[in-house]
Structure 1
């Protein structure tokens, strides 16, 4: 996805708004270890937005502003949903399920293509992704679905592109290079 100064600034603002909410999310056991690394939070969230349209990012930006005005913390809601501590917060579960099914398929393909780089199961995705989608407004869900549909029409896998962007941004190389290095490392140690 092409970047422009306005797009980059909008993504930065979205991430900073999310970060404030994230840092204000209370956990049962105290501060979570991931809350102690805001820079990594920024990188992971940038990865998410790196493949999404300007229209989606602008709509989600508005979701965050609306939530702030209403005193809602979308990060708290997301994590509470992940742990089933609160009831569903979305009236659009059919849309959430449809988007989640496609993203899950993409993650499964990524795990199969790069088993050394992604040795984990889909259990974390199954908890995290739908909970995040549930916090979106109907407009944002529709725009997210447009991003998914556009990618499918082009034969793209947004999960793969996200991770490729992340590792490239971190200066770690391509997914293929990382997979080869991990495979060689594991074979050397066995």
Structure 2
């Protein structure tokens, strides 16, 4: 497959997993919006290099072969912050996250949280609809950017996490910001040339 085909295939795999997620109150509205799902996930993958794409694609394929649902696991991990009592009842069902993985996850979070704050400061109008950055800033029951990313990273393999950390360290060393790169792809898919144009449009 080409790199573009791999990215699209990952979105399709995730969408299939997402459709199998069962919520207490029935299907969530976002499970009925494939176009929005595609934009959000594809924009994330568009900002990733092929080495990271290959690793995460392998994670998704392996999970499917094992009968696991990494998207469901992501939302379950997020419940540690958003619904701690319910999380206590299901945490034993989740695959354990090795200590070495937790260390990498913490390093990734530290960098990504800084980047998200930079993005929100630079583009307050565009980012106004985004999640709270840190979990202590989120309203009860709502997932912050920190909680969402942490939940997702908990589903990644050690190899994927290692490649991810190397990549964002490379970006940081080059003065680049992965959140900004991802959001550039996002606003382009909504018809804007760049974040500056999107910010100006939001200010009207």
TM-score, normalised by the number of residues in structure 2 = 0.84
Correspondence 1:47 to 2:56: no
Is residue 2:183 matched to residue 1:163? yes
- Aligned partners of 2:7 and 2:79: how far apart in 1? 27
CA-atom RMSD, angstroms?
1.4
CA distance in 1 between counterparts of 2:14 and 2:184 reads 23
Please give the secondary structure, in 2, of the residue aligned with 1:171.
Answer: coil
Report the alpha carbon displacement of residue 170 of structure 1 after superposing the two structures with TM: 2.3
Q: Which runs of 4+ in 1 moved over 3 A?
A: 86-89
Q: Residue 47 of structure 1 contacts residue 165 of structure 1 at CA under 8 Å; is this kept in 2? A: yes
Kept in 2: contact 1:90–1:136 (CA 8 A): no
Q: Distance in 2 between matches of 1:112 and 1:170?
A: 21
1:41-63 residue CA offsets vs partner (Å, 9 max, x unmatched) = 11110111111110111111111
Instruction: Return 5+ residue gaps in structure 2 as ranges.
Output: 81-86, 139-143
Q: 1:70 aligns with which of 44, 66, 72?
A: 66
- In 2, the alpha carbon distance for the partners of 1:46 and 1:35 equals 16
> Residue 90 of structure 1: which of 72, 82, 97 is its match?
97
Q: For residue 110 of structure 1, what is the aligned residue in structure 2?
A: 119
TM-superposed CA distance for 1:150, in Å, is: 1.3
Q: Quote the offset at 1:173 in angstroms.
A: 2.9
Structure 1 gap ranges (5+): 186-190
Q: CA deviation at 1:177?
A: 1.5
CA deviation after TM superposition for structure 1 residue 7, in Å: 0.4
Instruction: Tell me if 1:36 matches 2:32.
Output: yes
Q: CA deviation at 1:24?
A: 0.4
Mean CA deviation greater in 148-157 or 170-179: 170-179
Equivalent pairs, count: 180
TM-score by length of 1: 0.90
After superposition, the C-alpha distances for 1:22-75 in whole angstroms (9 at most, x for unaligned) are: 110111110000000112111110111111110111111111111111111000
Question: How far apart are 1:182 and its partner, in Å?
Answer: 2.0
Q: 1:98 Cα shift?
A: 0.6
